[in-house]
Structure 1
């Protein structure tokens, strides 16, 4: 019985060890998507453990008629799929601000939002990470008071 217990512990330990993965300590790049009309975002990822990380994204747009920015923070759990492929899921939120003109007068609005995130990524042997993710966002405020869906391609340099 003692040998069976030790063998079971060894097999479970091997299973958990073989399921471990290496996610980069830091990654910076672009997240190219709709982002509720703001387009490309500067994206930074910071590892918080073996399979957890924090992603921060900043999108902004400026023209003669308006200025807008959107700051998003997402906590992600990363799980291996096969080879260099991982999938991830996360939750977080952020802040969005719009300052400009509509058809009749000047408008200045700020909104908070909560967001989810699910996606797949490929970690190249060189320090390049490509990802495709889907991010639903629920906004609270005049600027964004509805449910938005964002699909984006991420291109990040890992260091």
Structure 2
């Protein structure tokens, strides 16, 4: 079992590029990427809203829970640039499965607290992630 969990961690530390479908702070789809970073990873999104651009960057910690299956909590920031400017702090809780082909699929929840502009809370940031691993 220990070797299988090490394989899950190895799959976690790879570059990934794909889509995040679901609420992305006002958008419904985002270009989704993962970058290895000091044993963990940077989770980045880019999406377009009807009146602007949304960028998110989160630092995720990976915890293998089964072969090819990872739990990842994270924290970071989100910015909206458009008719107005918004800046927020985002959290993230997610699960990801890495197939034995270069494909991963995951589900996550990303609550956001806006600190510049309206000062509100958004807790409906659920997403489905489909990414190519390389």
**Normalising to structure 1: TM-score of the pair?**
0.75
Q: Say which structure, 1 or 2, has more relative contact order (CA 8 Å, 6+ apart).
A: 2
Q: Match of 1:37?
A: 26
Question: Of 65, 68, 71, which residue of structure 1 is paired with 2:55?
Answer: 71
* Residue pairs, 1:44-123, within 5 angstroms: 44-50=33-39, 52-62=40-50, 67-99=51-83, 109-123=84-98
Residue 140, structure 1, aligned to residue 115, structure 2: yes
Number of aligned positions between the proteins: 129
Larger Rg: 1 or 2?
1
Secondary structure of the residue aligned to 1:117 is strand
Structure 1: gaps (5+ residues): 1-14, 100-108
Over the residues paired in the alignment, what is the CA RMSD in angstroms?
Answer: 1.7
Which stretches of structure 1, 4 residues or longer, exceed 6 Å deviation after superposition?
Answer: none
Q: Which one has a larger percent helix, Structure 1 or Structure 2?
A: 1
| Cα 1:61/1:156, change in 2 over 3 Å | same
**Normalising to structure 2: TM-score of the pair?**
0.88
8 Å Cα contact 2:5/2:66 also seen in 1: no
Task: After superposing the two structures, state which structure 1 stretch, 128-137 or 18-27, moved more.
Answer: 18-27
